Amino acid sequence: MTMILTIGWLYPTLMSTYGDRGNVICLQRRCQWRNIPVSILPLDAESDYSKFAQVDLIVGGGAQDRQQEIVMRDLKGEKAKILKEVLRDGVPGVFTCGSPQLLGHYYEPAFGERIEGLGILDLVSKHPGNNAQRFIGNVVFDISVTSLVQELSVFWNDLPRVIGFENHGGRTFLGNVAPLGKVIKGYGNNGEDQTEGAFYQNAIATYAHGPLLPKNPFLADWMIYKALSRKSSSNKVLLDPLDDSLTLKARTSLLMRYGLG
Ligand code: GLN
């Protein structure tokens, strides 16, 4: 039986404000280049909750406060329950900015009521109001999750230094959840504690748009490897290497701009 990987895409019409659809495209193309059959499954208000259980990978993008509020009117009940279950069970995911804010306990937007989150990630996010500095610009951070650094070394023979672009007003504060990384350049979760993102099971939460995965292909390959390993219940999955020479040039150029090359 041919094994097809299903990429679940959370609310694609509401949470794609900052180009994070590039993460879906990157996963899709890096599978196709390896002849791994892959399908993209939108998970949104029109989706039956059962669809949320059919995913092998999940992508959640960024959004403005208003769209986040609309999403949370729908992402509740069985949909929320199943999303919690699949992430707890280790389905690999990448959640950017507005998405992880909703996976936390709550997000207090610039205006309006607090948006209650799913409580999957032990974190809270607060927007200090539109007069506060918005965190916008290139961001560079080093993965600080030891187990993830070790696993990424299979796909990348260098320090897993992540490059992205952040654009958020919200500040995120972590509870009992591991930060994804340590900020080298930029603001990260809150511009204060040098943490960036969060890591839970096989879910990557980050403020880094970019889009993230094309700029950091080792993260995409790690996600694909995790999904294939779960689906085939084998730890002998091998991914053919791809030509990432153009990506390497772009990364070197940006890192040199900050004296990090
Ligand atoms: N609206 C949220 C904020 O301003 C998320 C923004 C985003 O997804 N880039 O923090």
Over pLDDT 70: what percentage of the chain?
A: 99
210 CA from centroid of ligand 1 (Å): 14
CATH of the domain at 140: 3.40.50.880
Q: Which residues pair with 124 in a beta bridge?
A: 106, 173
Confidence class for position 261, pLDDT limits 50, 70, 90: confident
pLDDT, the chain, mean: 96
Contact residues of ligand 1, CB 6 A cut-off: 18, 62-65, 68, 97-98, 101, 127, 167-170
98 CA from centroid of ligand 1 (Å): 5
Catalytic center residues: 97, 209
68 CA from centroid of ligand 1 (Å): 9
Give the domain range for residue 52. 5-257
Confidence class for position 1, pLDDT limits 50, 70, 90: low
Nearest CA to ligand 1 atom 5: 98
Confidence class for position 3, pLDDT limits 50, 70, 90: confident
Position in ligand 1 atom list of the atom nearest CA 127: 10
Is the pLDDT at 8 greater than 70? The verdict is yes
pLDDT for 236 equals: 87
- b (16+ CB within 10 A) / e for 45-72: eebeeebbeebbbbbbbbbebebbbebb
Q: pLDDT tens for residues 204-214?
A: 999 999 999 99
Task: Kindly give, in sequence order, each residue whose CB lies less than 8 Å from that of residue 5, ignoring residues fewer than 6 positions away.
Answer: 31, 36, 37, 38, 39, 56, 57, 224, 227, 228, 231
- Sheet of strand 181-185: strand arrangement: 161-168, 135-143, 181-185, 195-196
Q: pLDDT tens for residues 12-27?
A: 999 999 999 999 999 9
What is the rounded average pLDDT of the residues 98-112?
A: 97
Task: Kindly give, in sequence order, each residue whose CB lies less than 8 Å from that of residue 44, ignoring residues fewer than 6 positions away.
Answer: 10, 11, 12, 13, 14, 74
pTM here is 0.97
Q: How many domains does the chain have?
A: 1
Indicate the top mutation candidate among 97, 114, 124 to test ligand 1's pocket, ranked by most ligand atoms within 8 A of CB: 97
Q: pLDDT tens for residues 119-172?
A: 999 999 999 999 999 999 999 999 999 999 999 999 999 889 999 999 999 999
60 CA from centroid of ligand 1 (Å): 12
Nearest CA to ligand 1 atom 8: 62
Confidence class for position 241, pLDDT limits 50, 70, 90: very high
What is the rounded average pLDDT of the residues 67-93?
A: 98
Indicate the top mutation candidate among 14, 20, 21, 64 to test ligand 1's pocket, ranked by most ligand atoms within 8 A of CB: 64
Q: Within 10 Å of residue 177's Cβ, how many Cβ atoms? A: 18
What is the rounded average pLDDT of the residues 174-197?
A: 98
Q: Within 10 Å of residue 106's Cβ, how many Cβ atoms? A: 18
Is the pLDDT at 233 greater than 90? The verdict is no
